[in-house]
A = this chain, B = another copy of it.
Amino acid sequence: MEHISGGVCAPIGFKAGGIHCGIRKNRVKRDIALIISEVPASASAVYTTNLVKGAPIYVTQRNIADGVAQAAVCNSGNANTCNADGEDVAWQMCQLTAEATGLKAEDVIVASTGVIGQPLSIEPIANGMAKLVASVHADGSQEAAEAIMTTDTRLKEVAVSFVAGGKTCKLGGIAKGSGMIHPNLATMLVFLTCDAAIAPHMLKKALADNVQDTFNMTSVDGDTSTNDMVCIMSNGLAGNAMIDAEGEDYAAFCAALNEVTTTLCRAIAKDGEGATRLLTCYVTGGKTVKDAKLAAKSVVCSSLFKAAIFGADANWGRVLCALGYSVADIDVKAVDVTFRSIKGSINVCSMGASVPFSEEKAKEILMEDEIDVLITLRDGEASATAWGCDLTYDYVKINGDYRT
């Protein structure tokens, strides 16, 4: 497997684009994206578990119930959530896309992201659709990635190549996500494309399994969004033999999927609203995977610890505190904690108690922009990784007045 350029356009037969159609009135930023596959693709998606769901989610669920899709359309600037006419508007987005591209409306994945509870006018989308379709090209992944950004400061795009059935396949993705990031069984907005031939039921299984270890282990602020979705289209144009059961090819596909989603998780956490540091918590020695996951996620979710990391303060007591309330089954008197960055690593807690360490060295390590928290439990063999970020003034600033 190797990283390649091209994002969602890296796989054979995928094109993408993005334009400003006027949903965002206060600034001229691309606000609608379109991804198209040359041929119908196996498709799957996972969605937020929030009871309040964005209207596009219901429409997408219906559209890909048959395991097939050929395009994805997504606007930013308005979440189309808590709107009485929301599903109508989302379905109109599919119809407009279908009319302008010649595809079927039922084969369109639709998504929205932005403010909740403000009606989404179909007018700018209808007016801009021809321009949007014209913007789609074989190198348009970045334009699509830009168009789905809200408070994101960095474009999130990745692609890898892998081999299945002797054929080189490619898998790419784009993502948006910066605040309201605390996925639960699904997450954020992530569009993945692939040119491998894979049966819809295997694609569904691969995606559902993968998100448990990737997006569901990522948190920016503890708020599970109403519009989270990860979707994938795999169009088979790589020419590999159809992956329709577990085996070597399926494993290669899953490894590629994991590389792409893990890269996007890190990118999302690092670009957390206001964040200055990416926080990765590795837990080993857990009693069960569930315990290791609960422990890792509790640490990256602690407001107190996140604020300490912003201050480059080696306040390991807050790590212990977060482990203690994580509801993981842990022997808290057998916990070791080490902080690590490119500047080195430093053990700050051993067997649940303090060890002498250089505050100066710890500060030097924690001033870097990617910090690892290594937690060793002595309860078993299970491990888990979680991603998060620090809590900063800018998070408060961004969210103190997001709507205006």
Which residue of the partner chain B has the closest CB to A304?
B223
Minimum Cβ distance to chain B for residue A56 (Å): 15
Minimum Cβ distance to chain B for residue A377 (Å): 12
A226 touching B51, Cβ below 8 Å: no
B332 touching A399, Cβ below 8 Å: no
Interface residues of A, dominant DSSP: loop
A239 cross-chain contacts in B, Cβ below 8 A:
none
- State A179–B306 Cα separation when bound (angstroms): 13
User: Which one, B313, B321, B393, B403, contacts A401 given CB within 8 A?
Assistant: B313
User: Which one, B49, B82, B321, B396, contacts A223 given CB within 8 A?
Assistant: B321
Minimum Cβ distance to chain B for residue A363 (Å): 10
A352 touching B82, Cβ below 8 Å: yes
User: Which one, B117, B224, B330, B399, contacts A51 given CB within 8 A?
Assistant: B330
- Report if A320 contacts B (CB, 8 A): yes
A354 touching B117, Cβ below 8 Å: yes
B392 touching A303, Cβ below 8 Å: no
Binary interface encoding of chain A residues 308-342 relative to chain B, with 1 for a CB under 8 A from any of its CBs, else 0 = 10110101111011111100001010000000000
User: Which one, B83, B325, B352, B404, contacts A354 given CB within 8 A?
Assistant: B83
B307 touching A400, Cβ below 8 Å: yes
- Report if A115 contacts B (CB, 8 A): yes
Report A's interface with B, CB cutoff 8 A. 49-53, 79, 81-84, 115-119, 179-180, 182, 184, 221-226, 301-304, 307-308, 310-311, 313, 315-318, 320-325, 330, 332, 349, 352-354, 391-393, 395-404
Question: Would you give 7 A-B contacts (Cβ < 8 Å), ordered by A?
Answer: A50-B324, A222-B301, A224-B325, A303-B303, A307-B395, A313-B402, A315-B402
